[in-house]
Structure 1
Amino acid sequence: MTQSLNNQPWYILGAGAMGCLLASQLARQQQPVKLIVKRASTPSQAIHYQQTDLHFSCKVPVVDHCALHHHINKLIVTTKAYDALPAVQSIAHLLTADAQVILLQNGLGSQQVIANTLPNQQIAVGSVTHGCFLTKPFQVVHAGLGQITIGELSPQLNNAKPRCQFQQFAQLPLNIHWTTTPLTTLWEKVAINGAINGLTALYQCKNGELWQHQGLRQQVIALCLETEAILKQLQIPLSDQLVTLVKRVILQTADNYSSTLQDVKAGKATELSYINGYIIDKAHIMGIDLPHHQWLVRTLKEKGYS
């Protein structure tokens, strides 16, 4: 990697929990990074990072997206799935022809749409299992250690090893892995979240309660069986039986509130249309009904959770 590429800053689009987590880690590794925000009142912002036995603060430059005029060749998008496309479109004219873009959205669907709008750039997509949240703006709590799995979206670009900027990202101390089958990884996370997130939002419960109560456990299993049938038709392999994967996640995160429930409690839109909604859309194309998924999405919409 040339020195000039080393010195190019990472631009992070989205100053939520994941954006602040990545910005703090990049800054701590002394990699140049800038946060793109909707309204920048100061040229830099202190980000406070908190983990069980590690606390630190770092100053990160912030840039108002309306005032942004520098060319970008390293971009990480950490917005919500429904915000990702308009956010990228607002700065697409600044991306260099060989820009490398990392998309870290929940669910599926937004990544492919963005890739279609950026046919010349190198697009990597990632699945994140780290748990983090903001206590205040720019104050991030790293509540659960997980991993990030990324890979290039376009098959013709899908190398066994990451390119230089992607490799630079992979060096962060966040248990980052490179894969040549990123969509399979994303599908597995969608399948798991599709059996957990919507139900926790509907019943306003912690993840662990889904397995503690027999009625809720049966609903989880029913969603898993429907999703597995779709994945079998699509020939998408999972690392284990879906019920086993979901049970493992539920038990490991028993005291956690899902991101969907957190969105509902905060009065925000959810990403369910990119999770259960995406599964239902794929099933519809194949002429398959998913009564449990359809009931869940319909019931949530009736409650105003969309």
Structure 2
Amino acid sequence: MVHTTAPACSPNIAILGAGAIGQLMYHQLCHTSPNQPSHDVVLISRQSHTQLQPLRFTDIKGQIHNTDAVLLGTKDPRLNEVKLLLVCVKAYQVEEALIPLLSKLSPQCHIILLHNGLGPHIAVSTALRPYPEQGLTLGTTSLAALAINQWHIKHTGVGVTQLGHYCGHPLANHLHARIQAIASQEQPVEWHQPVLAVLWQKLAVNAVINPLTALHQCANGQLADDEYREQITLIINELVAVAQCDGIELDPTLLTERVYKVIALTSANFSSMYQDVTHHRTTEIDYINGYICQRAQHHKLNVPVNQCLATKVASLS
């Protein structure tokens, strides 16, 4: 049951996007920082008013935790206290959800984008120009969570979270430490500078697994079959050529090995794009293969395999 009376809180860290990953980051930040004040971490609501929302979290060991989370309303003046904002919405939602909030956040707020694909960082970095003391970090995570229902998530997979400063003021040391506190041997947090090369490597994994599983309606492991090998090679070679024009040097052999390693490690999984297509939801194709095509067009390169995949998936969603 939602409590509609405005709860007391002093929001130091906020999470925009209360889906499975957003709630997972919320729980991890809360549970790894027991000495922080109550409601130091909040979720940002789509509603204008602030409310208290009971959350349930099943951790990786199967233990259940119940928490009352503050859903900070978009008209709550305490948005001005937020020093760190983790953006965990889908790539195609980033601009619409984030940019109207920039003027309401602390003038020194640091923003972390944590979504699949590439592209939103360009619009966000432009939108941040009027706010010279704010900063932007880009990241990606292979942590996995499953939504049991809207307000109950289950932590289903450990993995690495990779982050790196992109523009504006760097992340303050005490906030860096809060993010680092979620790290463990099973789920390391890595910091990379420059960060874009890491995100292009993750883009390669997504550019192979997401559209092929969505189009062939299969689990990730099926892509290890020989029938997909030539197409996977072409996807990667096109991506490497585009990345090179963007100043990012990638080794196609190492990238191919990485893609097949992820296919093996996640063989029983169904990709997010497979699930989006199955449930008739909007996909992030424009920010995965579509981003490769967009940058290729900028550099006057042809990427027929990625273009074909982007077109086919777009027609399904």
Give the TM-score taking structure 2 as reference length. Answer: 0.85
**What is the aligned residue count?**
293
Instruction: Output aligned runs, 1:18-33, within 5 Å.
Output: 18-29=21-32, 30=34, 31=36, 32-33=40-41
Aligned AA (2:241)? A
Q: Which residue of 2 aligns with 1:216?
A: 228
User: How many angstroms apart in 1 are the aligned matches of 2:93 and 2:245?
Assistant: 30
Q: Which residue of 2 aligns with 1:12?
A: 15
Structure 1 residue 60 displacement after superposition:
3.9
Q: Indicate which of 217, 231, 237 corresponds to 2:249.
A: 237
Q: Which residue of 2 aligns with 1:98?
A: 108
Q: 1:254/1:146 Cα in 2 relative to 1: closer, same or farther (>3 Å)?
A: same
User: How many angstroms apart in 2 are the aligned matches of 1:69 and 1:223?
Assistant: 47
Aligned AA (2:232)? V
Structure 1 residue 117 displacement after superposition:
0.7
CA offset digits 1:59-115 (Å, max 9, x no partner): 142325334221122211100111111111232222111111111121111022112
Question: Is residue 140 of structure 2 the alignment partner of residue 127 of structure 1?
Answer: yes
Where 2:44 maps in the other structure, the secondary structure is strand
Q: Which residue of 2 aligns with 1:68?
A: 76
Aligned AA (1:63)? L
User: How many angstroms apart in 2 are the aligned matches of 1:175 and 1:234?
Assistant: 28
Q: 1:124/1:60 Cα in 2 relative to 1: closer, same or farther (>3 Å)?
A: farther
Unaligned runs of 5+ in 2: 1-9
Where 2:63 maps in the other structure, the secondary structure is strand
Instruction: Output aligned runs, 1:1-306, within 5 Å.
Output: 8-29=11-32, 30=34, 31=36, 32-39=40-47, 42-51=51-60, 53-70=61-78, 71=80, 72-119=82-129, 120=132, 121-154=134-167, 157=169, 163-173=173-183, 174-212=187-225, 214-238=226-250, 241-302=254-315, 304-305=316-317
Unaligned runs of 5+ in 1: 1-6
Q: Which residue of 2 aligns with 1:4?
A: none
Where 1:98 maps in the other structure, the secondary structure is coil
Q: Which residue of 1 aligns with 2:7?
A: none
User: How many angstroms apart in 2 are the aligned matches of 1:117 and 1:142?
Assistant: 33
Structure 1 residue 157 displacement after superposition:
4.8
User: How many angstroms apart in 1 are the aligned matches of 2:169 and 2:55?
Assistant: 37
Give the TM-score taking structure 1 as reference length. Answer: 0.88
Q: Percent identity?
A: 28
Range moving further from structure 2, 78-87 or 7-16: 7-16
Shift >4 Å, 4+ stretches: 39-42, 156-159
Structure 1 residue 233 displacement after superposition:
3.4
Q: 1:204/1:138 Cα in 2 relative to 1: closer, same or farther (>3 Å)?
A: same
Structure 1 residue 296 displacement after superposition:
1.1
Question: In the alignment, is the contact (CA less than 8 A) between 1:151 and 1:180 conserved in 2?
Answer: yes
User: How many angstroms apart in 1 are the aligned matches of 2:256 and 2:313?
Assistant: 22
Question: In the alignment, is the contact (CA less than 8 A) between 1:20 and 1:47 conserved in 2?
Answer: no
